[in-house]
A and B are shown apart, each in its own frame.
Chain A
Amino acid sequence: MNITRYGYVLIGVALVILITISSGFFIVNETQQVIITQFGRPVGEAITEPGVHFKLPFIQRALFFDKRFLEWDGDRNQIPTKDKRFIWVDTFARWRITDPLRFYERLRDEQLAQSRLDDIIDGATRDAVANHDLLQLVRSSNREVVVDSSVEEKDIASVLAEIETGRTAIMEKIKEVAQARTADLGLEVIDVRFKRIDYNNDVRMNVYQRMIAERNRIAQRFRSEGLGDSSRIRGEKERDLQVITSEAYRTSQELIGKADAEATSIYARAYGRDPSFYEFLKTMESYPDAFDKDSWLILSTDGEFFRYLTGTNP
């Protein structure tokens, strides 16, 4: 029985020692940073190195904070731009606890920090949006537009309007404002970005109408171009037909004329050598065709052909 009680006491003492030891050290991993508080008040510097660290057991407490980049995601807000367009803006930000001591003093924990960030970043966003036209918020740069020449010409804007500030610059501005307002809170806003910018429903319907009208104009242009070009081709057809037929007529007439002239000259050259013989020959040749069986012909025996009718030697 004595052994048992002694054993129990041993175990008890061992346990107490263990608990004390375990309260005297703590492990910081790669994602954490720690401040030590003594009776509720912070002591010493923040501990950011990962590994095993020591503290006074029980008297001192180790408070753990995240060392990583943390996320902040705002609700989307409907904000009017400078040119009076109402848009939904959804932002997100990255931030970090840079000074856990200060963070603990000012904000205590992350929940409060998120709430303060809501106010600060939403406010900065609202200001930025209200001070700029929608175009500045959507566009980032003045890049050259690649134009599809078959579609875009006179009908729709194929160039992007020049911008002065632009999305990137505005996001930078919001970040700077947020950083200034969180300077003494022990945290740093690393980056603020627009996740989404969207039209509200009314504006979106108007935009759709505009897009439809633009497209209809283009379609109309194509159709009228088609009509114009096809009419032109038909006109060319008519013209070419005229040209072809008239030129052919002219050429053939020239040929005929030339041939007639040449024939005439050939005849003239030949017949001209003895016009009276020609006349005789031609007349003789034409006699058979001049009469037919119904023609009357009165001849005299005095003629050359009939003189032998009266005798052999008239």
Chain B
Amino acid sequence: MDKEFIDLKQFQMKGALSPRTIAAAVVAFLVLVLLFTSWYQVGAESVGVVLRLGKYHRTTLPGLHFKIPFGIEVVSIVATERQLKVEFGFRTISAGVRTVYSEGRFEDESLMLTGDLNVADVQWTVQYRISDPYKYLFRIRNVEDTFLDMSQAVMREIVGDRTVNEVLTIGRTELAIAAQTGLQVLADKYETGIRVDQVILQDITPPDPVKPSFNEVNQAQQDKERMINLARAEYNLAVPAARGEADQMIRQAEGYSIDRVNRALGEAARFTSLLEEYRRAPAVTRRRIYIETMSQLLPKIGRKLIIDKDSQNIIPLLQLGKEGGSQ
């Protein structure tokens, strides 16, 4: 009896694994796989590249799409609208209102030889987009690494064709454009499917040990300007003042001239009118003038001696040193 009981139970458990149950489980499993592998979503900035049995079939736009399940159709989502970025010679730790950069030096990437066999420290960014998702996915292995290598190679090639001065100062814009063009040409040649939007140059500086002497040049330039300005200021202080004094000298001379001439004219006119009067009555005029003058003169003289014309010998007797009055 016990044996039968056990057999029955075993039989019942075996019954639990009957072919029908297994089939049902498998079917359920397959339905689940079907559900999960037959629809996919493509985000707004992406496209979906669909391979059917390994072969490229179609590219789908953003939205919800269906595909043949069970791995017959496989989708790769590629963000074609998003602008991507790689940095060389520096790293951004966190971008934001105030961007934080890494303190580290990435001199492996940033130091490069210039055309005059000097060394410059160049930091730059490449902004790019995936323009051809098919090529991006299927033409090159490790597209991103390849792109990094290409960027470095192109930048060094271009910097290597310029003087260090061009790279540091006046040639920056031209450098960025040449780098962008060159990189795009290479990206197309390598069939990367990448479109280079822009190459942006960040800091381009001389290497650290050389920086002080470059600053020295700027300093010297400023010193030169300063010295020249100082001399000019002195000039502008002295010369206008001298001009002012010169003008004054001339004005004074002019004033003297006018005064002299007017004085002369005045005195000449006075004499002339006097002369006319004199011509009319010479003797009288002469006498008048004489008497006027004398009456003006004699009070002034402190010691006068009027001697009668007939007296004689009195002059030798006078002691002219004494105080004498008129007699």
Contacts and interface: CB of A to CB of B under 8 A. Distances in A.
A298 B54 contact: no
B315 interface: yes
Interface in B234-286: 234-235, 238-239, 242-243, 245-247, 249-250, 252-254, 256-258, 260-261, 263-265, 267-269, 271-272, 274-275, 278, 286
Contact of B303 (A31, A295, A309): A295
B64 interface: no
B164 A138 contact: no
B252 to A, nearest CB: 7
A284 B295 CA distance: 11
B234 A237 contact: yes
Interface string A180-213: 0000000000110111111100001001101110
Given A50-B55, A259-B257, A288-B300, A148 B157 contact: no
Contact of A277 (B223, B260, B275): B275
A251 interface: yes
B261 A167 contact: no
Contacts of B39: none
B235 A236 contact: yes
Interface stretch (A37-45, A98-106, A120-128, A215-223): A215-223
B106 interface: no
Interface string A227-242: 1011111101100110
B252 A237 contact: no
A188 to B, nearest CB: 14
Q: How large is the interface on A (under 10, 10 to 19, 20 to 34, 35 or more residues)?
A: 35 or more
Contact of B119 (A31, A150, A207): A207
A208 B209 contact: yes
A199 B213 contact: no
Contacts of B158: 140
Given A71-B146, A244-B242, A141 B260 contact: no
B294 A146 contact: no
A148 B117 contact: no
A284 B150 CA distance: 117
Contacts of B227: 226-227, 229-230
A191 to B, nearest CB: 7
B170 interface: yes
* Band of interface residues on B: 35 or more
Contact of A94 (B111, B164, B190): B190
A226 B223 contact: yes
A302 B312 CA distance: 13
Given A226-B225, A245-B242, A267-B264, A146 B118 contact: no
B313 interface: no
A263 B263 contact: yes
Given A68-B139, A233-B231, A277-B275, A135 B290 contact: no
B247 A52 contact: no
Contacts of A285: 293
A70 B149 CA distance: 13
Given A287-B293, A293-B301, A222 B250 contact: no
Given A135-B117, A241-B239, A259-B261, A270 B138 contact: no
A278 B67 CA distance: 139
Nearest to A238: B238
Given A31-B138, A281-B289, A263 B170 contact: no
B30 to A, nearest CB: 14
Interface of A: 3-4, 7, 11, 27-32, 49-52, 66, 68-71, 73, 92, 94, 134-135, 138-141, 143, 145-146, 148, 150-152, 156-158, 160, 167-168, 190-191, 193-199, 204, 207-208, 210-212, 215-216, 218-223, 225-227, 229-234, 236-237, 240-241, 244-245, 247-249, 251-253, 255-256, 258-260, 262-264, 266-267, 269-271, 273-274, 277-278, 280-281, 284-285, 287-288, 291-302, 304-306, 309-310
14 contacts: A66-B141, A68-B139, A71-B142, A71-B146, A92-B153, A148-B165, A158-B165, A193-B153, A195-B152, A199-B113, A226-B228, A248-B249, A274-B278, A299-B305
Interface of B: 14, 18-19, 51, 53-56, 108, 111-119, 134, 137-142, 145-146, 149-150, 152-153, 156-158, 160-166, 169-171, 174, 189-191, 206-207, 209-210, 213-214, 216-217, 219-221, 223-228, 230-232, 234-235, 238-239, 242-243, 245-247, 249-250, 252-254, 256-258, 260-261, 263-265, 267-269, 271-272, 274-275, 278, 286-287, 289-291, 293-294, 296-298, 300-309, 315, 320
Q: Across the A-B interface, give the 3 residue pairs with the lowest CB-CB distance, nearest first.
A: A226-B224, A248-B246, A252-B253
